[in-house]
């Protein structure tokens, strides 16, 4: 796959279903490294690398979510066209859930088969939220990141690392703050929503807001933990993804 936009963290690409993973605000493809290695070896797990971070640090990050979705969907469509027969699903966490959802909507308008299932984690539906993240200054952004927790907290205390991660964080928060749900037809793909039971960003009830956005099968999986529950509940998350993806692949 395109080595600019997509990363693999397994030694080989499996010949089974493909899972495309979309990271959270400020996050990179490596956020899904452990999940990729916990999933069955025959899965082909690829992780999206947004511009403006890690080896793409010198590229300007997107500040508009629609433009980011168009870029990702365009690259992904080329890869899917080269392997039309392989079933695939999308997994997005937090901001990544919104990017994955809008990417699926854009792909559904084309000629390629859409994803069989979406795994949407750590965020309510596109018509919820409305927080003016684009008005946040650096202190506001960092306070919000600290509130949500996660494995990257120590990095925020290192001034040199902070200088590296702040541009992407600013851009992602602006993209989220200026996003506006404009309505549209629900997807045909099945949807599994995943959430932590003590996530300060969303409630279990918020997870149900995704139901209106699919005509397919719908499920909610609740795990112990906060916004970044998936790092602590790796095996359980991997089991839920495996079951959901294999169920849809078997039905196709």
Q: Tell me which residues are annotated as active site.
A: 94
Distance between CA atoms of residues 116 and 118, nearest Å: 7
Distance between CA atoms of residues 34 and 228, nearest Å: 13
Length of the chain: 252
C-alpha of 81 from chain center: 21
Residue 12: CB partners within 8 Å, gap ≥ 6? none
Contact in structure between 182 and 210 (CB atoms under 8 Å): no
Contact in structure between 30 and 56 (CB atoms under 8 Å): no
Sign of CA dihedral 234, 85, 69, 211: negative
Using alpha carbons, select from 7, 10, 2 the residue that is nearest to residue 80.
Answer: 2
48 three-state secondary structure: strand
Contact in structure between 108 and 136 (CB atoms under 8 Å): no
Contact in structure between 50 and 68 (CB atoms under 8 Å): yes
Orientation of helix 138-148 relative to helix 159-178, angle to 10°: 90
């Amino acid at each position: 796959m395109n080595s600019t936009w997509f990363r693999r963290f397994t030694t080989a690409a499996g010949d089974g279903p493909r899972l495309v993973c979309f990271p959270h605000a400020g996050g990179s493809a490596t956020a899904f490294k452990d999940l990729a290695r916990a999933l069955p070896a025959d899965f082909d797990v690829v992780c999206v690398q947004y511009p403006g971070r890690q080896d793409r640090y010198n590229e300007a990050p997107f500040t508009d979510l629609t433009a980011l979705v168009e870029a990702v969907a365009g690259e992904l469509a080329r890869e899917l066209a080269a392997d039309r027969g392989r079933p695939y699903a999308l997994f997005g966490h937090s901001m990544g859930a919104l990017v994955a959802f809008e990417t699926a909507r854009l792909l559904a308008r084309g000629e390629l088969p859409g994803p069989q299932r979406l795994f949407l984690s750590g965020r309510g539906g596109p018509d919820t939220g409305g927080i003016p993240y684009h008005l946040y200054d650096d202190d506001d952004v960092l306070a919000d990141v600290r509130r949500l927790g996660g494995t990257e907290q120590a990095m925020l205390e290192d001034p040199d690392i902070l200088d590296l991660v702040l541009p992407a964080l600013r851009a992602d928060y602006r993209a989220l703050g200026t996003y506006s749900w404009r309505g549209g037809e629900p997807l045909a793909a099945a949807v599994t929503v995943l959430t932590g039971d003590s996530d300060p960003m969303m409630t279990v009830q918020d997870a149900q807001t995704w139901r209106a956005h699919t005509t397919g099968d719908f499920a909610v999986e609740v795990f112990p933990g906060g916004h970044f529950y998936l790092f602590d509940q790796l095996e359980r998350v991997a089991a839920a993804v495996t079951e959901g993806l294999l169920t849809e692949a078997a039905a196709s």
